[in-house]
């Protein structure tokens, strides 16, 4: 056999041929046209009487089978197919169902189906006929030395070369492998083949095969270098992927929690989001290093009113005494209490419209915001991964920079999800759809029209 640089996997190459597989093909070739439902094209040929064009799609190429069937085996095959048609019905099975039944018939599983037993008996008889020839051909191949694999190129990985070598010598059979290489192959060209080629040109050696242990060792070393190179690439990609994998686990956990949460659990999440969002607004608007008298509490009240319209009555006069008395913690606790009270008022309003609606709305806001912002996060972190390699020119580790950038993006995304969800909950205004026109009125109009038409006809 001639081996390419792609490793073979699956069934071993049996010397002399695979009698079992060929027997299964022979039964399949005779059975399938009789029991499978015809397709539209086949029906068209049969209606026209042009059956010559409706060829057997299950027929194999000429010369595949090692011999013709004996008269007894051929009769047994015909009888088994007739039995299958009488038990299962003529052209009554789908293709997949027929393939499954044939596979079971060619195995040794117990069955009480008369068609299965008949096909199994025919399969065993055909296999025995073919084994006479395959056994003889196997002896001839063994006498010649078994399977000889000829490789036309060495792969970059020794694993693939060893898989090619493993095609021969299977199941205790003899075999051999030989590789024919060229100095123009990629592996030689990258790792020193030009020097050997220059040496051959200097000695005016043309078209002479070179067999050298030193050359083989150098080739093995080149393969090891390539393997180490690709291993480093895979390891680096794995390290980069681990950053996104941990974030993915966190976002999927939050999403599953939203899907499985009860009404009370969703309310706890909303109260937590309200508290954390207040922290974000306070930290963004108040500089604690300045004196309390210079804090822009009026601007903070305006930001809170934009965030939740229930806080529109808040002003500097309400927050200033609290700030002077309790500082930033007092202001924060007051705002948290106002926001959580506003959330409870919103729940009461929505539940009055329709019971259970608020929980469904909160779940919808959580899932939609999580999905949309996660997709944007994936695009952003992809750009970061492409650009972070330039940090190496600044003597910085790109992986560490990628972890820092990815973490910051993830924290921003989670905060954005939290803010968007609680803002959507505060702004949620359910409205009932206007009822459609009364169908009974339409029916009366139609009936009146019919009565009017009948009067015209009677006139």
Q: pTM value?
A: 0.55
Quick one: pLDDT at residue 446? 42
User: By C-alpha distance, which of 293, 310, 311, 292 is closest to 301?
Assistant: 311
Q: Distance (Å, rounded) from C-alpha 263 to C-alpha 271?
A: 13
Structure tokens at 54: 């409706």
Is 81 in contact with 34 (CB distance < 8 Å)? yes
Quick one: pLDDT at residue 394? 80
Quick one: pLDDT at residue 44? 45
User: Mind listing the pLDDT tens digit for each residue in 217-243?
Assistant: 777 777 888 888 888 888 888 888 888
Quick one: pLDDT at residue 5? 46
User: By C-alpha distance, which of 127, 135, 121 is closest to 25?
Assistant: 127
Quick one: pLDDT at residue 431? 75
Is 299 in contact with 318 (CB distance < 8 Å)? no
Strand order in the sheet with 175-179: 2-3, 147-151, 175-179
DSSP assignment of 279-311 equals HHHHHHH--TTS-GGG--HHHHHHHHHHH-GGG
Distances 290 to 286, 294, 300, 327, 387 between C-alpha atoms, Å:
9, 7, 15, 12, 39
pLDDT tens, per residue, the chain with 459 residues: 444 444 445 567 788 888 999 999 999 999 999 899 887 555 544 544 554 444 568 888 888 888 999 999 999 999 999 999 999 998 888 989 999 999 999 998 888 999 999 999 999 999 999 999 999 999 999 898 888 888 888 777 778 888 777 778 877 888 888 888 777 777 777 666 666 667 666 656 566 666 667 667 777 777 888 888 888 888 888 888 888 899 999 999 999 988 998 888 998 999 999 889 888 888 888 888 888 888 888 888 888 888 888 888 888 888 888 888 888 888 888 888 889 888 899 888 888 888 888 889 999 999 999 999 999 999 998 888 888 878 878 888 888 888 899 999 999 999 999 999 999 988 888 877 666 555 444 544 344 444 444 444 444
Quick one: pLDDT at residue 203? 57
Q: Provide CB contacts within 8 A for 110, sequence distance 6+.
A: none
User: By C-alpha distance, which of 153, 235, 169, 208 is closest to 399?
Assistant: 235
Quick one: pLDDT at residue 199? 64
Which secondary structure element, helix H or strand E, spans residue 176, and what is its range?
strand 175-179
Number of C-alpha atoms within 13 angstroms, CB side, residue 369? Answer: 21
User: Mind listing the pLDDT tens digit for each residue in 12-48?
Assistant: 778 888 899 999 999 999 999 989 988 755 554 454 4
User: Mind listing the pLDDT tens digit for each residue in 299-324?
Assistant: 888 888 888 888 888 888 888 888 88
Quick one: pLDDT at residue 214? 67
Q: Distance (Å, rounded) from C-alpha 196 to C-alpha 445?
A: 99
Quick one: pLDDT at residue 454? 45
Residue with tokens 């090692």: 66
Is 130 in contact with 67 (CB distance < 8 Å)? yes
Q: Distance (Å, rounded) from C-alpha 122 to C-alpha 127?
A: 9
Quick one: pLDDT at residue 155? 79
Structure tokens at 96: 């997949």
């Amino acid at each position: 056999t001639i081996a390419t640089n792609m490793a073979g996997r699956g069934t071993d190459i049996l010397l002399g041929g695979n009698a079992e597989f060929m027997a299964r093909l022979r039964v399949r070739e005779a059975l399938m046209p009789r029991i499978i439902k015809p397709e539209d094209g086949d029906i068209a040929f049969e209606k026209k009487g042009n059956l010559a064009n409706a060829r057997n799609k299950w027929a194999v190429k000429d010369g595949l089978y090692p011999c013709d069937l004996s008269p007894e085996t051929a009769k047994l095959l015909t009888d088994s197919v007739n039995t299958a048609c009488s038990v299962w019905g003529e052209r009554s099975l789908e293709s997949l169902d027929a393939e499954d039944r044939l596979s079971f018939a060619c195995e040794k599983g117990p069955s009480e189906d008369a068609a299965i037993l008949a096909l199994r008996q025919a399969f065993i008889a055909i296999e025995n006929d073919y084994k006479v020839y395959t056994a003889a051909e196997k002896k001839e191949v063994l006498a010649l030395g078994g399977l000889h694999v000829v490789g036309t190129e060495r792969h970059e990985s020794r694993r693939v070369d060893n898989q090619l070598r493993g095609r021969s010598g299977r199941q205790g059979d003899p075999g051999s492998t030989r590789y024919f290489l060229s100095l123009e192959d990629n592996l030689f060209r990258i790792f020193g083949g030009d020097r050997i080629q220059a040496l051959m040109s200097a000695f005016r050696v043309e078209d002479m095969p070179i067999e050298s242990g030193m050359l083989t060792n150098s080739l093995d070393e080149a393969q090891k270098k390539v393997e180490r190179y690709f291993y480093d690439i895979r390891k680096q990609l794995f390290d980069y992927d681990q950053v996104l994998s941990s974030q993915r686990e966190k976002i999927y956990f939050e999403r599953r929690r939203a899907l499985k949460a009860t009404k009370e659990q969703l309310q706890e999440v909303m109260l937590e989001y309200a508290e954390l969002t207040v922290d974000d607004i306070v930290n963004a608007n108040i500089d604690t290093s300045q004196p309390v008298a210079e804090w822009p509490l009026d601007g903070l009240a305006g930001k809170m009113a934009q965030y939740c319209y229930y806080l529109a009555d808040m002003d500097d006069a309400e927050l200033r005494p609290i700030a002077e008395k309790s500082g930033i913690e007092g202001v924060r606790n007051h705002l948290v209490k106002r926001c959580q009270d506003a959330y409870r008022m919103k729940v009461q309003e929505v539940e009055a419209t329709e019971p259970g609606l608020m929980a469904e709305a909160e779940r919808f806001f959580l899932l939609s915001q999580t999905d949309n912002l996660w997709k944007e996060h994936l695009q952003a972190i992809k750009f970061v991964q492409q650009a972070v390699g330039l940090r190496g020119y600044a003597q910085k580790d790109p992986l560490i920079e990628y972890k820092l950038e990815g973490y910051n993006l993830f924290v921003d995304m989670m905060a954005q999800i939290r803010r968007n969800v609680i803002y959507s909950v505060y702004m949620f205004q359910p409205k009932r759809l206007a009822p459609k026109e009364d169908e009974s009125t339409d029916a009366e109009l139609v009936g009146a029209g019919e009565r009017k038409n009948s009067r015209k006809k009677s006139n």
